[in-house]
Amino acid sequence: MGKSNRIRTNRASYNVKAVGVKNKKKGMPSWAMTLITVVVAVALLFSVTGILLSANGVFTRITTVVYSQNYKINANMMAYYYNTQYQNFVSNYSTYLSYGYFSLDTSKDLDEQPFGGAEDSTSTYYDEIFLGEFEGTWHDYFMNAAVESAKSILMYCEAAEALGVSLTEEDYKTIDENIASYEETATYYGYPSVSSFLSASFGRGVSEGDVRDCMEYSLLATKVMEVIAEQIDGSVTDDDVNSNYNDNKLDYNVIDYSYYSFKVTYDDVAEEVLGKEYETELKKDENKTKVLEEYKKQIEAAKAAADELNGKTNIDDFKAYIYNYVATEAVEDVYGDQTIKDDIKPDADVVAHIKAELVKAVVAEIVEGKEETTDVIEIKDDTADEVTIFDKTVSKDYAKIINDVKEDLFDDVLSAKTTYNVEKANYTKDNTFSEWAFDDARAANDMKLIAEYDGKDADAEVTNKEGKSHTSVYFLTATQYKDSETSKNMSYMVFSKEETAKAAIAELVANGTLTQEAFLAMAESKSATTSSAVTDYTEGSMGSTEFDEWLFDSERAAGDLTAEPIKTTSDSSTVYIVALYEGEGKELWYLDVKSVIVSERAEAKVTELEGKYPVTVKENKLDSVNVTA
């Protein structure tokens, strides 16, 4: 993985911990815990449909599948790890699965669903993007993931003794609580025993003892990873960071710029000229000629617009031109989407005037920095049947439609503002613009026009380049700089019930002592679902926009406590976050550099451990693993 990719991955690595896992530990940096990659299978509860009777699992329990010098995982334990991988995937990506974004069909046998480059594969775009390259069936995929998880777990367990790590009474209590949760669920669903429930959930023959062994291994491995992560994190000095930065500035510096790309696509032109059946109509030579002429014409128009934009040497004029260009094109589509009865439709010249005024009004609001628009005219029940908008008299019903048009048009241009004004862009190798923009000779306000398939040989472009023309104009607003925005240090607790979260806030305020220790003690006393102290938290890492809006508010001051619980809703649940802001952390450029150093050292550490503590997989025993999926 390249450094720039690692930076982006590490910066986004911190997430709210899963419901049911309590972390009272005072924190290491938010990104550190994910640097040594291993899936630790501490399962959450999953609802079970269908009832299966458990077998005793004797033969699978004595079948070793993965082993190291001092630890081994039998077929029953492997079934638990496998089915946990599967169930977590289905839970995490339930929305994607419901829309068919993945090729996985949970109603069918996984062994009969080819994946990736396998023959008869039905892989989707999301398969490749989320899961990477893999060939085989979905069963193979989950088994491979489970095996890699098991290998990592045993490797870290072997390292435990040398690092002085072992399970404590508190750890065993946590495992007991998880088992107790399974027992409650088994009773609720009418299973005769917890083992029969576990057998149905995680594979025939899987018993309470098998699951307990898996949890002990996983928890021990997790504790070892924490120790190693803390050691690596503590080994990085300021001199290390500064030296790495000075040697690799392109990997860390960022730029700001504005741009617009004028695009013309042959297929779009063909549909515009010939209609939706253009592919059939293009078989006629006279139609090919007609479309090609229009294609060339539109390319020339786009090139002229790009040249005009390239002449706007003031950034405010540059941006205003983009907004006006986008609004002028969008107003036709937005207006055309409306259903307007003939008896309220004004004359064509009035419509043209209103469209032009709408563009002016929206662009003015965007330039002013507004995030929301206002109606052209307020319409009430007692408003007269005829009203005046933009100096034109129209019906009240038509004015309502124009209010809707303005709102949609504003949203389109606001989206364009976000898209075409870029801050903190990273360097991209072999990219024409990036190579130009990150050149040390660049200065603020430099401009660049880049034409790709610019219409000089439109016939060849249609034949060889799929008929796509792009002419882009760039305005560099800030040359290379360090991202000096600061991270945040904070503590948080999460509750499933709002009243409990409110009670925690009320007691903290009443006690009058807002320290990290007092905050985390309150989290424990209130049995928070999750709580932790976080050093160097970066925006977006929690996965809650509402939380980030509170934490990164410009008025936020050290010692601030959330006045009300922050409600955060995901696809599956709603939680309430209580947080204490403790002050600014490191600057983001520093964290980016440090995360790369830590990642490199972590990779080296994993390689060292793999050599020191080899783990063996009995491939011929994998078929003995019972799976429920």
Helices 75-92 and 138-163 cross at an angle (nearest 10°) of 110
CATH no., domain 486-589: 3.10.50
pLDDT tens-digit map of 603-618: 999 999 999 999 999 9
Selected residue with higher pLDDT from 309 and 58: 309
* Lowest-confidence pick of 90-99, 232-241, 489-498, 505-514: 90-99
Percent pLDDT > 70 in the chain is 86
What is the predicted pLDDT for the residue at 117? 61
Closest alpha carbon to 103 in 133, 134, 126, 136: 126
Most confident of 91-100, 139-148, 619-628: 139-148
* Lowest-confidence pick of 131-140, 335-344, 492-501, 543-552: 131-140
Residue 448 has pLDDT above 60, yes or no: yes
Residue 480 has pLDDT above 50, yes or no: yes
Selected residue with higher pLDDT from 403 and 53: 403
Residue 43 has pLDDT above 50, yes or no: no
CA distance 194 to 207: 8
CA distance 55 to 206: 8
The structural domains of the chain, with segments of one domain joined by +, span 36-235, 254-481, 486-589
Closest alpha carbon to 153 in 145, 603, 439: 145
Q: Give the pLDDT mean for 349-358.
A: 97
What is the predicted pLDDT for the residue at 118? 58
Q: What is the mean pLDDT of the chain?
A: 86
Tokens of 535: 């050093």
Please give the DSSP secondary-structure letter assigned to residue 116. Answer: E
Residue 408 has pLDDT above 70, yes or no: yes
Per-residue pLDDT band for 454 (boundaries 50, 70, 90) equals low
* Lowest-confidence pick of 9-23, 434-448, 475-489: 9-23
Tokens of 136: 């085989």
What is the predicted pLDDT for the residue at 131? 75
Ramachandran region, residue 475 (left: φ > 0; alpha: ψ -120 to 50; beta: rest): beta
Residue 419 has pLDDT above 50, yes or no: yes
Residue 253 has pLDDT above 90, yes or no: yes
Tell me if 543 sits within 8 A of 561, measured CB to CB.
Answer: no
Closest alpha carbon to 424 in 587, 551, 278: 587
CA distance 374 to 156: 60
Query: Buried (b) or exposed (e) across 474-493, using 16+ Cβ within 10 A?
Result: bbbbebbebbeebbbbbbbb
* Lowest-confidence pick of 151-165, 191-205, 227-241, 309-323: 191-205
CA distance 604 to 610: 10
Q: Is 224 exposed, middle or buried (0-12, 13-18, 19+ CB in 10 A)?
A: buried
CA distance 515 to 559: 8
Residue 517 has pLDDT above 60, yes or no: yes
Closest alpha carbon to 592 in 477, 426, 421: 426
Tell me if 545 sits within 8 A of 570, measured CB to CB.
Answer: no
Residue 23 has pLDDT above 50, yes or no: no
pLDDT tens-digit map of 46-82: 322 222 223 444 456 668 999 999 999 999 999 999 9
Cross-strand pairs, 73: 66
Residue 343 has pLDDT above 70, yes or no: yes
CA distance 575 to 344: 49
Residue 464 has pLDDT above 90, yes or no: no
Per-residue pLDDT band for 583 (boundaries 50, 70, 90) equals very high
Give the predicted TM-score (pTM) of the model. Answer: 0.77
Q: Give the pLDDT mean for 397-414.
A: 96
Q: What angle do CA 428, 434, 437 make, to 5 degrees?
A: 140
Mapping DSSP onto H, E and C, the string for 7-26 reads: HHHHHCCCCCCCCCCCCCCC
Mapping DSSP onto H, E and C, the string for 441-461 reads: CCCCCCEEEEEECCCCCHHHH
